[in-house]
Structure 1
Amino acid sequence: MNLADQVLDVNDDLPIRTDKPVHSGKVRSVYWLTEQDSRRLIQEKGYDVPADAPLAIMVISDRISAFDCIWKGEQGLKGVPGKGAALNAISNHWFDLFKQKGLADSHILDVPHPLVWIVQKATPIKIEAICRSYITGSMWRAYENGEREFCGIALPEGLTKDSQLPEYLLTPSTKGILEGIPGVPAVDDVNITRQNIVDNFEAFNFKTVQDIDAYEALLKEGFNVISEALAPLGQIFVDTKFEFGYVKDAAGNDKLIYMDEVGTPDSSRIWDNNAYQQGNIVENSKEGFRQFLLNHFPDPDILLNKDRMAEREALTADNLLPLDTMTTLSKTYTDIAKTITGSPVHISQNPKQEIIDVLRAQYQLVD
């Protein structure tokens, strides 16, 4: 079997029954089900949602995104084998653990296939909720250059690169371009302070000011649950991005939930603890791939400078990455998924056909 055949790179052309445009992001595509199919599945499967709740099929791809670009490899590799299934498996594991610990539900109702979720429609909080336990990456670079305040929080003097912070640090940023908020530039992914959120909570989609406390608690609690679960596995949970939203349960009550993905190599930094104790950083996350790209090209500023986006896109289009880079990255994703979940990642030999078959046979969503 050709390695490229195992990769699901185009995931917005599946024959899933829908009467709305397919929304395709960097990694996932969302198919909104017809009202009739949503109602039927809610009734047949007993999902804890209102009878008229809109449902969607969310299909993850194996595409690899870094520095806001999609990268491809030699020998027709348009993604990383096993990456999508690894991300879904890890997220499913943490979402289940959060529920067991009594934290909060997620938007996921069902997992028909390793690359597929059935989700309920959520109203997203317009915040990238970032929690940090160590100072590294862009934060360290800013600290080294003299910055001591991050998102309105003052850091002490004397911190060293890759060292543990005195306590969890919450550094939220905007999700999407938000206009008309005093003191917040209308730019995607710009850092904000807690006071920005409190003063404009409705603009960020919070229903009440009190829900800001709830989201911060869920962020810290979720981070702590993952960190404590990773420690016996020899892994350090360095930092992560969570996303939150609102859904309604079957009784019509609003509830704040975790959404998107959590604790994955795409949304988090995860370090090998043994290597860290010896003074080395071994990444079990996409951060290692980012570092490879910065070292691989002679002018890394193209990847770091948003004003050079046209050059960056040309770099992506004109360069196929070495095959061993893509296979090493595949091993990073599948190995950490197996470590976390205890089960090997299912790598499909023909992922698109597998998805079509299961959605047709078990969910009657393909004509």
Structure 2
Amino acid sequence: MNTNFTTQEALENCITETNLPNFSPPYKGKVREVYDLGDNKLGIVVTDRISAFDFIMKQAIPFKGQILNQLAAFSFDKVNDIVPTHVIDVPHPNVTIAKKCETIPIEVVMRGYLTGHAWRVYKSGKRELCGVALPEGLKEHDKFPTPILTPATKAEEGHDQDISEEEIISNKIVKPALWNKIKEVAFKIFERGTKVAAEQGLILVDTKYEFGLYNGELTLIDEVHTTDSSRYFYLDGYQERQEKEEPQKQLSKEFLREWLMEHNFQGLEGQTLPDLPDEFRMEVFERYAELFEMLTGQEFKPVSVKDFDQELTDILNKHSN
């Protein structure tokens, strides 16, 4: 990894928000800022903000947006023979021009291993998650006999809520035929993501997909197989660690959550969001860059965003009606 930036330059090279006087204000998510360009097109800016426990951290992570956006572009390209994706163009490391889709309000969570939320449910004694039966006799990070789909409702604010397939259909959130198509596609994408990861020495543990409709056609949107939407383990040594009941080596946002918990923050009432020290911000960047390089087999080469607002204005003007 060759950044050609000093640590101080990297820390100052963060996009925390965009400010374009000639465009309507964007929709601001936790990480992305989305501009409506007309003609069913969106300009999506992936900032360097980072969130955990549904809170945006006060400090940004250098180059995180570039890594996330380019990793998503790489992964969208790997699955576009399975399902159409929303990507039209990636004109800048931080920017994607995308189709404006009608969002399907379900997060499609695929799990290959008993980790994270699934493990917490299992550890509490329950043997069902989102209507899916979980086998007896598993320990944390064990592989499921076959991957499982555990949907969640997309919350505008606060936490997403688990939901079963039966509830999705009975509550008429998604029509049965469309849900069956989503399910079929999700398993295929997860299988592809698992294969791509394994070829690079990684395990795709779990991930989430979001879908929309573009001219009535099912389309994969948001991001796919990135550090923010997925959890990865190192393949090398996985089995030995399981047998010895040692923690698995992860490449995910989990280490940020662990750091926050060590600093007495889990997003609960009365807790104070801690500042991220510069040294830790660089450590987070290095984790993101490591996953990018492992998964893509390419060197991560960051670019300066000193004149980003002007560059973004030019890009959005070019793609606007």
Q: TM-score, normalised by structure 2?
A: 0.89
Partner of 2:186: 219
Residue 278 (structure 1) aligned to one of 240, 245, 256: 240
SS of structure 2 residue aligned to 1:262:
coil
Matches for 1:301-340 after TM superposition, within 5 Å: 302-303=265-266, 308-309=268-269, 311-312=270-271, 315-316=272-273, 319-340=274-295
Matches for 1:40-189 after TM superposition, within 5 Å: 53-72=39-58, 78-99=59-80, 102-176=81-155, 188-189=159-160
TM-superposed CA distance for 1:364, in Å, is 3.6
TM-superposed CA distance for 1:144, in Å, is 1.4
Q: Distance in 1 between matches of 2:35 and 2:183?
A: 30
Q: Which runs of 5+ in 1 are unaligned?
A: 36-52, 73-77, 178-185, 249-253
TM-superposed CA distance for 1:365, in Å, is 6.5
SS of structure 1 residue aligned to 2:136:
coil
Partner of 2:203: 236
Residue 31 (structure 1) aligned to one of 23, 29, 35: 35
User: In the alignment, is the contact (CA less than 8 A) between 1:30 and 1:58 conserved in 2?
Assistant: yes
Partner of 1:45: none
Supply the AA of the counterpart residue of 1:196: E
Which digits, 9 at most, give the CA deviation of each residue in 1:301-352, with x for residues without a partner?
Answer: x516xxx34x24xx22xx3222221111101111111222222233232x15
Q: Distance in 2 between matches of 1:174 and 1:294?
A: 26
Supply the AA of the counterpart residue of 2:307: Q
TM-superposed CA distance for 1:210, in Å, is 0.7
Distance 1:365 1:158, change over 3 A: closer
Q: Distance in 1 between matches of 2:145 and 2:184?
A: 18
Distance 1:154 1:361, change over 3 A: closer
What is the number of equivalent residue pairs in this alignment?
Answer: 308
Which digits, 9 at most, give the CA deviation of each residue in 1:79-136, with x for residues without a partner?
Answer: 111211111111111111111xx21111121111000011121111100110000001
SS of structure 2 residue aligned to 1:214:
helix
- Is 1:14 equivalent to 2:20 in the alignment? yes
SS of structure 2 residue aligned to 1:274:
coil
User: In the alignment, is the contact (CA less than 8 A) between 1:81 and 1:327 conserved in 2?
Assistant: yes
Which digits, 9 at most, give the CA deviation of each residue in 1:154-178, with x for residues without a partner?
Answer: 112111111001111111010126x
Which digits, 9 at most, give the CA deviation of each residue in 1:248-292, with x for residues without a partner?
Answer: 2xxxxx210110011011111101111423304111111122122
User: In the alignment, is the contact (CA less than 8 A) between 2:121 and 2:129 conserved in 1?
Assistant: no
Q: Distance in 2 between matches of 1:142 and 1:199?
A: 24
User: In the alignment, is the contact (CA less than 8 A) between 1:113 and 1:355 conserved in 2?
Assistant: no
Q: TM-score, normalised by structure 1?
A: 0.79
Partner of 2:170: 199
User: In the alignment, is the contact (CA less than 8 A) between 2:42 and 2:98 conserved in 1?
Assistant: yes
User: In the alignment, is the contact (CA less than 8 A) between 1:6 and 1:347 conserved in 2?
Assistant: no
Q: Distance in 2 between matches of 1:223 and 1:162?
A: 17
User: In the alignment, is the contact (CA less than 8 A) between 1:55 and 1:121 conserved in 2?
Assistant: yes
User: In the alignment, is the contact (CA less than 8 A) between 1:85 and 1:346 conserved in 2?
Assistant: no
Partner of 2:218: 256
- Percent of aligned pairs with the same residue? 32
Q: Which runs of 5+ in 2 are unaligned?
A: 1-5, 242-246
Distance 1:362 1:214, change over 3 A: closer
SS of structure 2 residue aligned to 1:328:
helix
Q: Distance in 1 between matches of 2:158 and 2:278?
A: 36
User: In the alignment, is the contact (CA less than 8 A) between 1:112 and 1:358 conserved in 2?
Assistant: no
Partner of 1:247: 214
Partner of 1:49: none
Q: Distance in 2 between matches of 1:269 and 1:167?
A: 17
